[in-house]
């Protein structure tokens, strides 16, 4: 008695900060394990899941060291930070018995497969959770853009963009009690109003390829399932 799936293949984008829990940087193992559990829940429902994880939680810890550094070098450090998070997530998922592959945009053969598009798709077809590490492999980009790019490449039907608020509001809901959540928005709305969802490169890429984005609150348990399998409207749909 499986409920029909809304999406067959998704790309979930987590910021590095999502792994910190209440901490100021680094990885909080119970938080990581909780997210892994939610990912497994949708994977076991038959959804093919790809992940992109940011690096802010690690990178912030070294941000002081990068001050005055060459931008490209600092960006490569950021990309390495995403690899640390990707490996941590891989471990958390595999501890719970799920098969995973980390595919890195920067070659590091001892710890991750190199990113090869067709390989990524094959892993997904086999039911493995695929984690895309090292962003796009290029400085001056973000992991949001990496998420959009990879989602396109693997023909994901949606990007789930995890945040700390339940979607996109017309004002900051933490400061303004009258702030209202948008149920849907167009890409152009997001770009024109400069709404803080993903950077403009990532949004434009989605717009040009008509890839919907669901912005949702990851801190509420079960929201990944709700976004993917239905059961309670959550977040904001950009499409």
Maximum CA pair distance of the chain? 58
C-beta separation of 169 from 232 below 8 A: no
Residue 21, both tokens? 């829990």
CB 103 within 8 A of CB 112: yes
Residue range at the interface with ligand UDP (CB under 6 A); choices 35-43, 96-104, 135-143, 222-230? 135-143
Q: Please state whether 140 falls in left (phi above 0), alpha (psi between -120 and 50) or beta.
A: left
Q: In the range 69-88, which residues lie near ligand UDP by CB under 6 A?
A: 75, 78-79, 81-82
140 is an annotated ligand-binding site residue:
yes
Q: Tokens representing 199?
A: 């950077």
Residue 87 host element (H or E): helix 71-95
Least Cβ distance, residue 44 to ligand UDP (angstroms): 26
92 scored as a contact of ligand UDP (CB under 6 A):
no
In what order do the strands lie in the sheet containing 213-217?
Answer: 113-114, 100-104, 129-133, 48-53, 9-14, 158-163, 213-217, 236-238, 184-185
Positions 37 through 66 that interact with ligand UDP (CB under 6 A): 54-56, 59
Footprint of ligand UDP on residues 12-31 (CB under 6 A)?
15-17
Subset of 183-212 contacting ligand UDP (CB under 6 A): none
Stretch in the footprint of ligand UDP (CB under 6 A) among 9-17, 20-28, 43-51, 189-197: 9-17
163 belongs to an annotated ligand binding site: yes
- φ, ψ of residue 77 to 5 degrees: the values are -60, -40
Residue closer to ligand UDP by CB (options 104, 229) is 104
141 binds ligand UDP (CB under 6 A): yes
Is 139 one of the binding residues for ligand UDP (CB under 6 A)? yes
Strand, helix or coil for residue 48: strand
* 163 or 229: CB nearest ligand UDP: 163
The answer to whether 143 is annotated as binding is yes
Query: Which positions lie near ligand UDP, rule CB under 6 A?
Result: 15-17, 54-56, 59, 75, 78-79, 81-82, 135-136, 138-139, 141-144, 146
Show binding-site residues for UMP.
55, 75, 136-143
């Amino acid at each position: 008695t499986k409920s029909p799936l809304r999406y067959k293949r998704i790309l979930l984008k987590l910021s590095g900060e999502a792994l910190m829990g209440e901490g100021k940087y680094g990885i909080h193992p119970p938080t990581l394990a909780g997210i892994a559990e939610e990912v497994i829940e949708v994977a076991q429902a038959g959804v093919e899941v790809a992940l992109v994880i940011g690096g802010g939680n690690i990178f912030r810890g070294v941000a002081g060291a990068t001050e005055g550094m060459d931008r490209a070098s600092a960006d490569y450090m950021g990309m390495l930070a995403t690899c640390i998070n990707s490996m941590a997530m891989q471990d958390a998922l595999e501890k719970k018995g799920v098969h995973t592959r980390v595919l890195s945009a920067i070659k590091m053969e001892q710890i991750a497969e190199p990113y090869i598009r067709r390989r990524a798709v094959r892993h997904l077809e086999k039911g493995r959770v695929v984690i895309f590490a090292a962003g796009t492999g290029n400085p001056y980009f973000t992991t949001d853009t990496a998420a959009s790019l990879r989602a396109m490449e693997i023909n994901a039907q949606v990007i789930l963009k995890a945040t700390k608020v339940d979607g996109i509001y017309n004002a900051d809901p933490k400061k303004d009690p009258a702030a209202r959540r948008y149920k849907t928005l167009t890409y152009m709305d997001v770009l024109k109003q400069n709404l803080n969802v993903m950077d403009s490169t990532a949004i434009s890429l989605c717009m040009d390829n008509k890839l919907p984005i669901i912005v949702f609150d990851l801190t509420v348990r079960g929201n990944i399932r709700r976004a993917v399998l239905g059961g309670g409207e959550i977040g904001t749909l950009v499409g």
